[in-house]
Amino acid sequence: MDTMRDGVCRYLQFPADQTVLILHAKVAQKSYGNEKRFFCPPPCIYLSGSGWKLKQEQFQAGGMEDLGYKVCGYMGLDGMGTSHTETQKLSFEEQADCKKFSCAKALYISDADKRKHFQLILKLYFSNGQEIGTFYSKMIKVISKPSQKKQSLKNADLCISSGSKVSLFNRLRSQTVSTRYLSVEGGAFVASARQWASFMLYLVDEGGSSGDFPRREGYIRYGSVVQLVCTVTGMALPPMVIRKVNKQFALLEVDEPVSQLHKCAFQLQGSPRMYLCLSNEKVIQFQASPCPKDANRELLNDGSCWTIIGTESAEYTFNDSLAKSRDPVTPVPLITSLELNGGGDVAMLEVHGECFSPCLKVWFGDVEAETMYRNPSSMVCVVPDVSAFGSEWRWLRYPVTVPLSLIRTDGLVYATSFSFTYTPEQTCLSSQHLPSSLSQDSDSLLDSIHHEFTRTNFHLFMQN
């Protein structure tokens, strides 16, 4: 028991986690008959965290031949499509930022599959055959083709809400090979043929054009001012007006909601018909030509027409440095929300999420909490007393923040993004009890200090 605590303590000092990130689109277009409409943007997998390197070093120290520790994997659709014809082998390449990257470029869903939603399955192995686990994407909605009708807000899951993540890509003359994705490399926006980034798309308050990205809630409509912020690098494009595109024309008077896989254009706010445009790798501005016949149209070029699509990500983090078994790390539990109950003598923390099992315990820092499993999406645990983190008075007088982890009975650690804080609560030495003005004569000041001392230190008087 205590050795486990020591182990967790060591882990928390140097949390060499392994993280699997699956990045994918929210919707997928169905392939009819023999056609193969590959998912666009292609689902991507990033392996990050120092744990992967550590694992590699462990394998090397164990005398594994060079290729033994390579990570390889397969990606396919969940459900019946588990046959190997439907899955795609992945090979990972190491990037400059030490992340391992791979993408599944040739996945599609046939019209024979009648489901409205599906998930991607990712199976990861070390090349020596040791299974890492089976990971799932978020739900993907199947659509037949981009909506041609004026989008209604009733069809909310096709609309794009402010603050959600999107990918933008450009395809010249509908040629798959020419597809370029908006991305950020080396501090600049680029049109990459290889990699795509997901961007937070925000409605910007048109009143407050400068400052702290004033954000608005709601669905994105054509004609509104938006801002795109890269979720990884934090790079942003200036505020732009999103325009509907029809046959290479930007339509200025359209204000319907933006829908998945729509073609759109981004006019830099306040500029003379300047649009976000790609020129090979580069992202530049392009000045559209006014349309002589229609003042509400502006003629674009190919490079300034973008397809917009919502994206999702599924992230799994684990650490096997304390694990006693080589069982797959999946299913990786995920905490979505917490709820505190009780108080007084005992406080309970309700943990809501996914993939819970009876072999998981909640840990507050290096302290294991008494945990009760309810169902795969709910657990309850007893909040440990703050004195469990150290008996010194400092632990009581200053706020204590500890990370929350879920630890499987075999010692596999799942870090969570949640942390828990104990804040000392005084029996308020509050301003009402102490005279604030110095003008009061010091007799009454002393009186009130005396009073406050006896009031708050009643326990000292009662000690004998």
Taking a C-beta distance cutoff of 8 angstroms, is the pair 135, 22 a contact? yes
**Identified binder of other proteins from the candidate list 385, 390, 409, 440, rule CB under 8 A:** 385
| Contact window for other proteins (CB under 8 A) among 10-18, 111-119, 227-235, 292-300 | 227-235
| Contact window for other proteins (CB under 8 A) among 23-31, 74-82, 248-256, 395-403 | 395-403
Side-by-side strand order, sheet with 378-382: 346-354, 378-382, 371-375
Confirm or reject binding of residue 155 to other proteins (CB under 8 A): no
Cα–Cα distance, 138 to 376 (Å, whole number) = 17
**Identified binder of other proteins from the candidate list 343, 375, 437, 439, rule CB under 8 A:** 343
Confirm or reject binding of residue 418 to other proteins (CB under 8 A): yes
Query: End-to-end distance of the chain based on CA atoms, in angstroms?
Result: 39
Residues 274-293 that bind other proteins (CB under 8 A): 274, 276-277, 279, 282-287
Cα–Cα distance, 437 to 57 (Å, whole number) = 66
Confirm or reject binding of residue 220 to other proteins (CB under 8 A): no
Tell me whether residue 127 or residue 456 sits nearer to other proteins (CB atom).
456
Confirm or reject binding of residue 451 to other proteins (CB under 8 A): yes
Cα–Cα distance, 203 to 250 (Å, whole number) = 19
CA-nearest of 375, 316, 384 to 347 is: 384
Q: What mask of x and - would describe binding to other proteins in positions 173 to 202, judged by CB under 8 A?
A: --------------xxx----------x-x
Residues binding other proteins: number (CB under 8 A): 81
Tell me whether residue 139 or residue 347 sits nearer to other proteins (CB atom).
347
Confirm or reject binding of residue 450 to other proteins (CB under 8 A): yes
Residues 296-335 that bind other proteins (CB under 8 A): none
Enumerate the H helices of 14-76 as residue ranges: 50-61
Least gap, CB of 322 to other proteins (angstroms): 22
Cα–Cα distance, 410 to 412 (Å, whole number) = 6
Cα–Cα distance, 107 to 105 (Å, whole number) = 6
Tell me whether residue 247 or residue 455 sits nearer to other proteins (CB atom).
455
Confirm or reject binding of residue 464 to other proteins (CB under 8 A): yes
Q: Which 3 state secondary structure label does DSSP give 234?
A: coil
Taking a C-beta distance cutoff of 8 angstroms, is the pair 141, 27 a contact? yes
Spell out the residues 6+ positions from residue 405 whose beta carbon is closer than 8 angstroms to its own.
8, 362, 363, 413, 414, 415, 416
Tell me whether residue 14 or residue 461 sits nearer to other proteins (CB atom).
461
Confirm or reject binding of residue 373 to other proteins (CB under 8 A): no
| Contact window for other proteins (CB under 8 A) among 143-151, 170-178, 321-329, 386-394 | 386-394
Cα–Cα distance, 264 to 247 (Å, whole number) = 11
Least gap, CB of 235 to other proteins (angstroms): 5
Q: Which residues pair with 402 in a beta bridge?
A: 420
Least gap, CB of 156 to other proteins (angstroms): 22
